Amino acid sequence: MKLHTISRVTNNLLNIVVNYVIITSKRLNIDESHALKHSIDVFNYANNIVESKIQTNPILNKQRDVISVSSLLHDMCDSKYILNEPSELNNIDNILIQHMNDKDRMAVSNIISTMSYSKVKKNGYPNLHEYQDAYHIVREADLLSGFDINRCIIFGLKKENLEYTDAVKRAIDLYDSRMSKYIEDDLFISEYAIKKANELNNQSKYDISVLQKLIF
């Protein structure tokens, strides 16, 4: 797994955050569907979106730290794996306190605590003022990663202890009811994310058709 190369985020901060993801995933028993590889996938998508928008929105270059850190840490406070979200958000803040200013740390906390699909469907988008675009970038990046049908299968296997064929069926049902509707529900805003979402959705539909032939 290779991190997308960016200029603004310090190597030290990236190393600290990635190590935190590794340690916390083990501590909270976060499976592969939401652990390190997923974090890096979201990180890469987020920075690709930044690159596509930075000419028209140069402030994003000053928010690289916030976007990159949020994309890597976003599932380290996921309610599917934890009982106490405020406690985990506090743990995250503690590792960032020596590396980010108060304003940026608060932005990270606000982004990762409000960006999940379920929270957006329930509460809508928060108003994060100058960090609103950063919020949408991380949120879109996470949704793009959601098109990976294998993530859904792994979650069923590891988190719900399903047999493989049952995990595949659950994944396909979830994809049909949720991920396949991301585009028509207008959950993507940036041109990059809209284009990429259509590409990934088409690939996933093909992958699902192959699985259906093999298993059902």
Nearest to 136 by CA among 50, 38, 8, 35: 50
Q: Measure the CA dihedral 113/25/175/188, to 10°.
A: 40
What pLDDT is attached to residue 109? 98
Angstrom distances, CA of residue 126 to CA of 113, 115, 145: 10, 9, 21
pLDDT for the residue numbered 216? 80
pLDDT at residue 9, rounded to an integer: 56
Residue 185 has, within 13 A of its CA and on its CB side, a CA count of 13
How much is the pLDDT for 87?
A: 96
Say which residues have a Cβ less than 8 Å from residue 182's Cβ, sequence separation at least 6. 143, 146, 147, 188, 197, 201
Indicate the domain borders of the chain. Answer: 1-129, 146-216
Please name which of 118, 210, 117 lies closest in space to residue 168, comparing C-alpha atoms: 210
pLDDT tens digit at each of 216 positions of the chain: 445 444 455 788 999 999 999 999 999 999 999 999 999 999 999 999 999 999 999 999 999 999 999 999 999 999 999 989 999 999 999 999 999 999 999 999 999 999 999 999 999 999 999 999 999 999 999 999 999 999 999 999 999 999 999 999 999 999 999 999 999 999 999 999 999 999 999 999 999 999 999 988
Secondary structure letter of residue 3 according to DSSP? P
Q: What is the pLDDT of residue 7?
A: 45
